[in-house]
Amino acid sequence: MKTPMLPPYDHSPGPYNGPTIEEVMDQRKRYLTPSLLTYYQKPIMVVEGSMQYVYDEQGRRYLDAFGGIVSISVGHCHPYVVKKIREQLETLQHTTTIYLNPVVSAYAQALAEKLPGKLSVCYLVNSGSEANDLALLMARLYTGNYDVIGLRNAYHGGSASTMGLTAVSSWKYNYPHSFGIHHAIFPDPYRGAWGHDDPDAGAKYADDIKNLIEFATSGHVAAFFAESIQGVGGTVVYPDGYLINAYQHCRKAGGICIADEVQTGFGRTGSHYWGFETQGVVPDIVTMAKGIGNGAPLAAVVTTPEIAQTLTQRIHFNTFGGNPVSCAAGKAVLEVIDREKLQLNSMEVGNYLINGLKGLMEKNDIIGDVRGKGLMIGIELVKDRRTKEPAKQECARVFERVKELGLLVGKGGLYSNVLRIKPPMCITRADVDFMMEALNIAMGEL
């Protein structure tokens, strides 16, 4: 079979004069934590990026269909974002919120204007874990309640409290966490009790939240916490009506509703700017990170003025939160998404991709499910479509093989049998054609 060709692209990577891949690997093994996960049996070294592509030290180009783990929203080294970062860097790199700075407040306004309802107050931080920690704190302070309902198969971070919210064993260390956190059944129409053919599936899954509140808590909760589409868990898209019902159960028990938009925000789902909008709900707190800064360390908690007020009981401070360089990046990202119509591109190219994958599914029994919205896609591989036995080794082989062919994708799900495609939102149909060819070859070789 002939090797697929990446679409032509007018960019020459600069010469690489740094250490060899072996030297970097040795250094990493000696001086960086052994807990780091390295993708691929033969890891690749990424030294340059341009829009939807990255380059290794040999100058080889790859289509980055994982976007630095869903963080490169508008394209690697997007020229406008780089320009805005550079301008800010040369003016003032750092100050904190103890002084006024026009970049930070202008960014907060621009971000708040993207949100519906009373969601208008931002707390800027540096990572998704920090944003979720803070959301948890605010929910508990605001409601005076402690118990929180999360979802099984969720990923919300690796800090002490967000590890409690996370509910996939591979990310949970064997030490005390999760106090007051209860994980409801996750609404997975592919593997769960109710599938796409059941119009009441959303309400039925949400009933588990009501049960949990009645059985496992005092009847009063601080929050319901959920990703709008589960990301690390393997792109699980909830059935319609799930979040509406979940939010009702939570609010009836005195809780507020928190949407983790770390992966789903900023137009990625195509039909909407925020993932929660695809479910017709308005949360009380929204957390964001990753694509918000196109790679800059930036994250945010956006909430209502009333909820934001709770933090004034004490001083809460974050040294780099609201850093002007990160805020300049964040503002540029918002502008680029609008100007280059990247939400629309997510929808159009995302639909094209889903259709292509459905075609691939007809030819390859290994594909059990193709799902997602916009450019947040999952391909679940199974040994047998009837038993749905996870095809973990096969998934690993496809994942490795497409890398050899020039395509970087992610992997996820409890059984690591879901290929995750979440590229920069600037990808084109020609990139998708390349992706299809590479996946087709890899699956054909199984």
Beta carbon of residue 231, minimum distance to ligand PMP (angstroms, whole number): 4
Place of tokens 């070859």: 441
| Cβ proximity to ligand PMP, 140 vs 268, nearer residue | 268
The two three-digit tokens of residue 71, written as one number: 């963080």
Beta carbon of residue 346, minimum distance to ligand PMP (angstroms, whole number): 17
Instruction: Give CA–CA dist 364/383, Å, rounded.
Output: 11
Residue 98, beta-bridge partner list = none
| Cβ proximity to ligand PMP, 82 vs 168, nearer residue | 168
Q: DSSP E strands: which ranges in 202-328?
A: 223-227, 256-260, 285-288, 299-303
| Cβ proximity to ligand PMP, 222 vs 301, nearer residue | 301
| Cβ proximity to ligand PMP, 151 vs 439, nearer residue | 151
| Cβ proximity to ligand PMP, 286 vs 336, nearer residue | 286
Beta carbon of residue 349, minimum distance to ligand PMP (angstroms, whole number): 22
| Cβ proximity to ligand PMP, 156 vs 191, nearer residue | 156
Instruction: Give CA–CA dist 310/92, Å, rounded.
Output: 31
Residue nearest to ligand PMP (CB): 128
Where does this chain bind ligand PMP (CB under 6 A)?
A: 127-129, 132, 155-157, 227, 231-232, 260, 262-263, 289
**CA 124 remoteness from chain centre:** 18
Hey, what amino acid is at 60?
R
Beta carbon of residue 170, minimum distance to ligand PMP (angstroms, whole number): 13
Q: Dihedral sign, CA of 230, 235, 239, 240? A: positive
Beta carbon of residue 261, minimum distance to ligand PMP (angstroms, whole number): 8
Q: Strands across the sheet with 407-408, in order?
A: 46-50, 53-56, 61-64, 407-408
Beta carbon of residue 286, minimum distance to ligand PMP (angstroms, whole number): 12
DSSP state of 237: P
Please give the angle made by the CA atoms of 332, 338 and 339, to the nearest 5 degrees: 80
